């Protein structure tokens, strides 16, 4: 049996009994019940995911996956394709937004080449992984973006990333991406799964003008008509209109879920990967925490489809895992409330009548 199916088969329901016990503990803390709102909810969710009443978030990792898209040649982005490679080097040199925000919360950034169109000239390290499936996907307006075997490989590479980090310590995962043209792939995936119209699910990505937006919508329409992805088959959708980094993100969600690790979803592209993971195994939804709602118009639509309530709404649209980093900071705050705040009995404070 292949790694992907073995991983899916290991995904279990989260522990509702521990969540009940956590709620009882939260209700004893020196505050009106429920007064810390979603921070309490986050603490309870993490205990259920980890099956641990006293979880630790010491080892925080944000995976930033990079890949190129053949559909970029259709003029769907404000930036040329070579920016993907340039940004990978920027991540590795510590100069990107994700580096700043990850450092702020004490998280490690792991940059992954899933399918950048050029070879990255750097050795593998703790912070860089070469999982290249191919030199970018094919142009999905002319046929499938990748083969079904490549789709499986991209997912299994994501699972491997989780397994490799587990060896050195992994308590919570954030996912992000970089890839010129990837909002086009994310919109095509989202249209297929949610059955919403292309206009409502297609935004400006890197900041394209009105004419380019119309072109992008037409490109997505053409890709869907040519490929006819099956909305009940995650692999079919990924192979026909997806991207290697999206497959890798899906694999990370599956791998994290199988190992009882919370996975914090970043923006539009990351959430499109969550859509695919949810089709492959609906139990993964219980392991996902949506960090934010971005300004991409389709993002809130797919969050609603998944039943995920975002933690933040800050008009973000960068990707990279930046929103996930901010979300992890809030989640850690919730865990600290659970573990460090005194109860009424411990503090000698009079309880409410």
Q: Do 180 and 83 meet the contact criterion of CB atoms below 8 Å apart?
A: yes
Strands 108-115 and 172-178, sheet pairing: unpaired
320 has catalytic annotation:
yes
Environment class of 232 (CB within 10 Å of its CB; exposed 0-12, middle 13-18, buried 19+): exposed
Active-site pick, 41, 74, 320, 332? 320
**Three-state secondary structure call for residue 97:** helix
Q: Residue 165: CA atoms inside 13 Å, Cβ hemisphere, count?
A: 29
The dihedrals phi and psi of 61, each to the nearest 5 degrees, come to -130, 130
CA distance 268 to 270: 6
CA distance 238 to 314: 29
Strands 108-115 and 60-67, sheet pairing: parallel
* Residue 323 CB neighbours (<10 A): 30
Q: Do 263 and 289 meet the contact criterion of CB atoms below 8 Å apart?
A: yes
Contacts of 343 (CB under 8 A, 6+ apart): 25, 28, 29, 30
Q: Catalytic residue numbers?
A: 320
């Amino acid at each position: 049996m292949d790694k992907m199916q073995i991983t899916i088969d290991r995904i279990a329901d989260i522990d509702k009994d521990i969540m009940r016990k956590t709620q009882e503990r939260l209700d004893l803390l020196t505050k009106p019940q429920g007064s810390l709102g979603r921070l309490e909810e986050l603490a309870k969710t993490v205990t259920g995911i980890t099956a641990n009443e006293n979880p630790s978030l010491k080892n925080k990792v944000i995976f930033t996956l990079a890949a190129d898209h053949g559909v970029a040649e259709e003029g769907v982005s404000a930036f040329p394709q070579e920016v993907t490679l340039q940004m990978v080097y920027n991540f590795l040199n510590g100069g990107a937004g994700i580096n700043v925000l990850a450092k702020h919360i004490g998280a490690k950034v792991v940059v992954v080449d899933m399918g950048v169109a050029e070879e990255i000239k750097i050795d593998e390290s703790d912070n860089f992984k070469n999982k290249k499936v191919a030199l970018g996907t094919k142009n999905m307006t002319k046929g499938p973006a990748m083969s079904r075997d490549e789709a499986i490989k991209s997912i299994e590479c994501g699972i491997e990333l989780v397994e490799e980090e587990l060896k050195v310590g992994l308590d919570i995962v954030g996912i992000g991406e970089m890839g010129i043209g990837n909002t086009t792939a994310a919109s095509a995936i989202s249209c297929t799964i949610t059955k919403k119209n292309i206009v409502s699910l297609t935004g400006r990505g890197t900041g394209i003008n009105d004419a380019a937006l119309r072109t992008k919508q037409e490109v997505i329409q053409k890709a869907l008509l040519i490929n006819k992805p099956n909305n009940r088959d995650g692999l079919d959708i990924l192979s026909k209109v997806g991207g290697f980094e999206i497959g890798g993100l899906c694999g990370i969600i599956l791998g994290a879920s199988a190992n009882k690790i919370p996975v914090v979803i970043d923006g539009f592209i990351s959430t499109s990967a969550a859509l695919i993971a949810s089709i492959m195994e609906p139990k993964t939804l219980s392991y996902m925490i949506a960090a934010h709602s971005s300004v991409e118009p389709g993002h809130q639509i797919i969050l609603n489809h998944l039943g995920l309530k975002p933690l933040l709404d800050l008009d973000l649209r960068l990707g990279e895992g930046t929103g996930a980093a901010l979300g992890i900071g809030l989640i850690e705050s919730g865990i600290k409330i659970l573990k460090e705040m005194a109860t009424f009995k411990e503090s000698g404070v009079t309880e409410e009548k």
